[in-house]
Amino acid sequence: MYEKRNTHSPLSSPTQYAVAVTSVPSTPAGVRIDGVDQLIIEQLQVDGRMPYTKLASAVGLSEAAARQRVQRLIDTGVIQVVAVTNPLMVGRKRVAMIGIRATGATSELAQLLKNLDIIEYLVITAGSYDFLAEVVVRDEGELLEATNAIRATPGVVSTETFVYLELVKQTFTWGVH
């Protein structure tokens, strides 16, 4: 991951940009990750824009081998290399997690919810909520529109919104340790 290593809240201390390399939570069947792959992922989590020459040197491979391994990790869905924006720098002033209680099959509702453009992050959970959805919005009015859109989705019973006041910690280094 390339990001400024001070982990100040994007809600209180804007940075210009970050590139996150994240291990995808569910690795496709048959995909093998060895120690070298783990080292590659760790290096890219520190600097997602690291040149292949530097990456190869850090993990003990040739530049071509490092390039091929990174491409394989991307192609198999093990990692993604993406730009992570700072909400404040792109006009978004509010971030919230919305707990969603549902009725019926979660798989059907998940398909409906994932199609709502306002939802940035969606997980099916166990516990008090069936889903957690993260939204990043310009203001309270847009947050209200987002919650109303979620509530209007067939199968949603209720929601509870948790507005972020301060982001204390955010990392993208999970998945290989």
Domain with CATH 3.30.70.920 in the chain: 90-163
- Decide yes or no: CATH 1.10.10.10 for domain 18-84: yes
Distance CA 158, CA 133 (A): 13
pLDDT exceeds cutoff 50 at 158: yes
pLDDT exceeds cutoff 80 at 129: yes
| Number of Cβ within a 10 Å radius of residue 111 | 10
Distance CA 105, CA 83 (A): 33
> How confident is residue 44, by pLDDT bands cut at 50, 70 and 90?
very high
CB 89 within 8 A of CB 14: yes
Domain with CATH 1.10.10.10 in the chain: 18-84
| Residue bearing tokens 């992922």 | 41
The domain 90-163: what is its CATH number? Answer: 3.30.70.920
In this prediction, what percent of the chain has a pLDDT beyond 90? Answer: 64
pLDDT exceeds cutoff 90 at 2: no
Mean pLDDT of the chain: 84
